[in-house]
Structure 1
């Protein structure tokens, strides 16, 4: 008879200690859009020198929050996966705001609130607005998209992102197919429809395989493009018209 696998508790303190350093936290947030970035850029974002950045990144790699790959003489870092991004987003819900001490910081904060990525899907006003449009147009069903903390804690607090069952409708599949999103080809090992609680809007935005596929398609159509700062996304004029025409989403000016 084979021995049962050892049941272990998770070391939350170790993971929290890695995130707790302000410089490492800035680096992790910078990597929050899922792209691989060079060490030099992460050092600039964290406001530290190259040697200090290298030491911080080594700890994040050792702690399996970040992975590293080499391209020529440069090393590129990215988050280890969507679970790391989800953990950072969850912490942002309870974290106090950072003080704004310059116009540059104010502009970046406004841009992040307006439209950003949460790993590989859209967040901010754009992300929650898109979720609302999908619900309003009957593409998704199951909830109204409003985050109610008391309900989440009462129902299934251990299943954040799964406690509310959003479902893709048959008419929604057709609607998305017309937009160029093939819902029959979503990654099989990943939940197709999932949500994240948006830390800036305190509403749900679409995650999971469908959220990633829809976001990728919007980039392909050039309806959205990357902004100058990490994670920031901009909606093009063509994108604003297309989202209004196809999904009934009207974005604030």
Structure 2
């Protein structure tokens, strides 16, 4: 306050800068370091291809990890998805092929053609032989309803949706379940499994409402961070994963 008064006395504008958020700063710095490392490797590859006479470069990115950073989640948190898209174009890449992007809006970060392929047909066809009678496809949150519907259509199963509420910046809890899951085997689908927290919460919520003890978990991308083992271990032994 004293600083602001002194600035006003000298005819200057008060300091309106936001307080530093050390958590966001450190996370952003870590993401920036990882981004620089990947950008350097990709830039070398692109440059080498151009020097060898390539007229066009297609970036095959089956797992576009930065797609999860598609919006700001704090005052100083970078939107890494947009940053990597800008890098790709500045490096000379003119076509991107990805698989099951975390959100469709990531395609809008690019000004070059983006093909978002789906692994759902291949995974669904594999799961058919493991299905039990009366199985239900479960979307772990509202954002995966479209993917769950694609699985259900291909596998001939009904859909159930878990709705989550955010408890704080990092934790969520299932608030309600839409669909009939009581005494029925459940197939939980997602685009990726990172920490395993979403899957663990889904299994606990389904057990509470009386779902059968047999679970199949299917995801396009198995990232499995260091927290995944701790979060996935509590899943009942009868659960299955794919």
Normalising by the residue count of structure 1, what TM-score does the alignment of the two structures yield? Answer: 0.28
Compare the two structures and name the one with the higher strand fraction: 2
Normalising by the residue count of structure 2, what TM-score does the alignment of the two structures yield? Answer: 0.29
Q: Tell which structure's C-alpha radius of gyration is larger.
A: 2
Compare the two structures and name the one with the higher helix fraction: 1
Higher relative contact order structure (alpha carbons within 8 Å, sequence separation ≥ 6): 1
